Structure 1
Amino acid sequence: MSFRFWRRVRLAPGVTLNLSKSTASLSFGPPGAKYTISPHGNRATAGIPGTGLFYTVHDRNRSGRGASAPARAVPKRDRLSLGFFQRLMTPTEERRFVDGICALNDGDQNAALAALEEASDLPDAAWMAGMIRLRREEFDQAKAHFQGVLGRLSDLGSLFAKYDIAAQVNLPITEDIFAHVFPRERGTRLALIEIAQLEGRSADARAHIDRLLTLDPTDPVILLAFAELALDTPTDRTLMERVVGLTAGVANETPVDTAVLLFRGRALAALGMPAGAIDVLTLANRRRKDRPDELMRQIRYDRALLYEQVGRKADSRREMERLYAADPEFADLRERLNV
C-alpha cells in the first residue's frame, strides 16, 4: 500500500549563516524552522511548510547528557573575527574552525568544508563538516565524521558556545515535517539514522534509534522514526508490540503525534486487532486543522480498509467515496470504487 505522504525524500536543505552585532546564528535547512540559543534558555521553533503552523519547545537545561562543555567566553567584538595577537594564541585547529564558519557565512561551501575538515579533530568542526557532507549526499564521509563525534560528546558544542554560534540543522522526517537538531548526541544520531535509512541499513538505523529511546522514550521525533522503520516489517510481532507499547501515551496534539498514531494503528492491525486500530485512527482523524492533507487522507484510507475487514462495508464505501471526491488519484480508489 503506497503511503505517498510518508515517502522518504533526498536531502536538499539550504545552508545559511546569519551574523549580527550581538550574536551569531547558524541554520541549515528550509525556512520555517530554527533553533535559538539565548541566556533565557534554548528555544526550538518548528514549522510545517504551507500551513503557517509553528511549534516552540523551550529547553532551559543545557547541562544534560551531550551538553556543551564550559568554554572561555570570547568578547562580542572578537567573535568570528580573530585579530592578529589572538590568532597567535589560538590553536591552529580552532582557527580553522573559525575560518570554516566564516567561509560558510561568505557562501563559500568548498572553502568552509576544507577548513572544517582540517580541524576535524575538534567535535564541533567534525559535526559541521558532517552536515555539509550529508547535504551533498556524500554519505561515507558524513558518517565517518558523525561516528567520530559520538566518541567525543563531552566536548561537542563547546566551540559553538565559545563563539556564541547557534547551530541548527533541519533533517526531513517526512516531506512536510523536519526534525530540528543541533550539536548534541540526539542531533548526531538523527543524522546517522537518516544516512542509514537512505542507504537501506535498517539495523544500523534501529541501533541509533534504540539509543535515543533510552535517552528519552517520549521524544515524538524519535518515536516517529522508530515507528516508520518498524512498520517496514509488519510481520515482526515483537516489533509491532513494541510500537504499540511505546506509543501508548501519545496524544493527538501536533502533526507529529498524528503521524505516530497512524503507525500505532497500523501496528495494532498487524497484530490482528482491527477494532483497536480503527479506534486509534479515529482519534488521529479528529484533529485536521493544520495537518498535512496527505497524512489525513492516508489515515482515512487505512480506516476504510479496516472497516471493510471487520464487515462494515457501508462505512468503508462511504469513506472511500469521500476520499475520491477530495482526491480521485489517491492510492487505488478508482479500482476499489470501480470508477
Structure 2
Amino acid sequence: MAFRFWRRIRLAPGVTLNLSKSAASLSFGPRGAKYTISPRGNRATAGIPGTGLFYTMRDPGAGRGQERGASAPMVRARDRLTLGFFQRLITPAAERAFVDGLKALNEGDDSEALVLLDRSASLADAAWLAGMLHLKSENFEQAERCLLDALERRHELDSLFSKYGVNATISLPITPEISAHVRPRERGTLLALVEVYQLQGRSGDALIRLDQLLDLDKSDPVVLLSFAELALDHPNPEHLRRIAELSASVENETPVHTALLLYRARALVSLGLPDAAIDVLTLALRRRKDRPDELLRQVRYERALLYDGQRRQAQARREFERIYAEDPRFEDVAERLEL
C-alpha cells in the first residue's frame, strides 16, 4: 500500500455534490478528503489537519470493471439525478426517494435529504448515506441504526451510487492527526460505526469494530493507528500485546507510520520494555522529511523521558535542549531544564 505526500490548502467545510456531463462526486465533512475513480485503480487522499500534508493511497483492486454498474449507468450522465416522467413510473418508490434525497443534498437541504433517505432506508446505499448525515448532525442513535442496517446488506453497498454515476466519499477523523476518507463499503461503514461509538464514549464497542477492521486487513496503518490510540486510552495486557504484535513490521515510510511507531513505543513502555521503546522511537526519528514538526517533537520528548527514567541524564538533557530550541513552550521542557 503506497502513500505519496505533498502540501495543499485545506478543503472547505460543508457538503457539496459536483455533477458534470462525464462524472459526479459526493463529499462532505470539514476535514477534507476525496476519492478518485480511474481505469488504473482508485486513488484516495486524506490529510493531517493543521499541517497541509495529505497522503494518497492506491487501491489497484478496484479499477476498470470493478465498480458495479459503473460501466453502464441506466441514467445518462447529464441527467443522473433527474428522473424523467416515464423513468419515475418504472422506478421503485424507495429508489425514487433515494435519488430525490441526493438532489436535495446537492441543493444544500440536509433536512429534506435526510427525510427522503430515511424513507428509502430499505436500500443499502440510502441507509449508509442517512447514517452519515445523522452522524454529521450528531444524532448518534439514528446513525448507528442506519449504519448497522447498511452493514447487514454490505454486498449491496454502492450499487445505486454506481448506477447513477455518483462517487460518494465521507471524511472521518481517525486520530487528532489523521482523517480518513470512506466510501460505501464494509470498511467505510465499520469506520463510521467506530466514530459513532467513540463520540458516545462507547470505547468497548469501538474496539470491537476496529478488531473487525483489522481482521479485514491487518496491514492497514490507519486502522491500526486508530486501534492503538483507543486501546492505549483503555490499556489492558491483551490490547498492549496486540498493538506490539501488529506493529512489529512497521517501517517509517510516511507520517502515518511515524505516528504508528510512536504508539508502538507507548505500548512497549506499558509492557515494561523501555529499551525496545527507545529503539522504536529512534527509528521514528530517522526520517524527518514531510513529517509534522509537532509529531517529531513528541517522539523526541518521549524518548527523552525514557532516557531520564534510565538515568541517562546527558542524553535526556540533550533531547530536551533540542526541543526547547525549537519550541520553548512544548510540554514541561522548560521546567525540566530549570529555565
Q: What TM-score results when the alignment is normalised by the length of structure 1?
A: 0.90
CA distance in structure 1 between the partners assigned to 2:77 and 2:279 by the alignment? 56
Asked if residue 326 in structure 1 is aligned to residue 336 in structure 2, the reply is no
1:31–1:332 distance in 2 versus 1, CA, 3 Å: closer
Tell me the residue number matched to 2:9.
none
Aligned length: 324
The two structures, once aligned, show a CA RMSD in angstroms of: 2.0
How far apart, CA to CA, are the structure 1 residues paired with 2:207 and 2:104?
35
Query: What whole-Å deviation, never above 9, does each CA across 1:75-99 have from its counterpart, x for those lacking one?
Result: 3243111111100000111111111
> What displacement does 1:50 show?
5.1
Q: Quick check: 1:96–1:118 contact (8 Å CA) kept in 2?
A: yes
Match of 1:279 in 2: 279
The alpha carbon displacement at 1:288 in A equals: 2.0
Q: What are the ranges of 5 or more consecutive residues in structure 2 without an aligned counterpart?
A: 1-11
Report SS of the residue matched to 1:73. Answer: coil
What residue ranges of structure 1 are gaps of 5+ in the alignment? Answer: 1-11
Shift of 1:14: 2.4
Matches within 5 A, 1:36-47: 36-47=36-47
Aligned to 1:48: 48
CA shift for structure 1 position 332? 2.1
Match of 1:184 in 2: 185
1:143 is aligned with what amino acid?
A: E
* Larger RCO (alpha carbons 8 Å, 6+ apart): 1
C-alpha displacement at 1:206, in angstroms? 0.9
- Once residues 293 and 215 of structure 2 are traced to their aligned partners in structure 1, the CA distance between those partners, rounded to angstroms, is 33
2:61 aligns to what SS in structure 1? Answer: coil
Contact 2:20 2:77 in 1 (8 A): no
Moved more, 47-56 or 143-152: 47-56
Q: Which moves more between the two structures, 301-310 or 286-295? A: 286-295
CA drift of 1:69 comes to: 5.2
In structure 2, the partner of 1:117 is 118
Please give the alpha-carbon distance, in whole angstroms, between the structure 1 residues aligned to 2:126 and 2:243.
36
Partner amino acid, structure 1, of 2:42: N
How far, CA to CA, are the matches of 1:295 and 1:34 in structure 2?
A: 24
Q: What do the CA deviations read for 1:12-32 (whole angstroms, capped 9, x no partner)?
A: 952211111111111122475
1:291 match: 291
Partner SS for 2:16: strand
The SS at the match of 2:58 is: strand
Does 1:313 find its partner at 2:301?
no
Change (3 A) 1:191 1:32: closer
1:103-133: CA deviation from partner (whole Å, max 9, x where unpaired):
1111111111111111111111111111111
- Counterpart residue identity of residue 250, structure 1: V
Q: TM-score, normalised by structure 2?
A: 0.90
Please list, as runs of the form range in 1=range in 2, the aligned pairs for 1:25-104 lying within 5 A after superposition. Answer: 25-30=25-30, 32-49=32-49, 51-62=51-62, 73-74=73-74, 75-104=76-105
Identity %: 61
Aligned to 2:257: 257
- Show the counterpart of 2:217: 216
Q: Which residue is equivalent to 1:174?
A: 175
Q: Aligned residue for 1:303?
A: 303
Q: Which residue of 2 aligns with 1:230?
A: 231
Match of 2:270 in 1: 270
Secondary structure (helix, strand or coil) at the match of 1:321 reads helix
Question: Any conservation in 2 of the 1:69–1:155 contact (CA below 8 Å)?
Answer: no
Q: Deviations over 1:192-224 (max 9, x none)?
A: 111111222111011101111111000111100
Contact 1:69 1:154 in 2 (8 A): no
Post-superposition Cα deviations, 1:234-280, rounded to whole Å, max 9, x if no partner, equal 4x222211111000111111111111100101111111111110110
Of 36-45 and 148-157, deviating more is: 36-45
Would the aligned equivalents of 1:124 and 1:183 in 2 still touch at CA under 8 Å? Answer: yes
Q: Is the alpha carbon distance of 1:62 and 1:257 closer, same or farther for their aligned partners in structure 2, counting shifts above 3 Å? A: same
Aligned residue in 2 for 1:8:
none
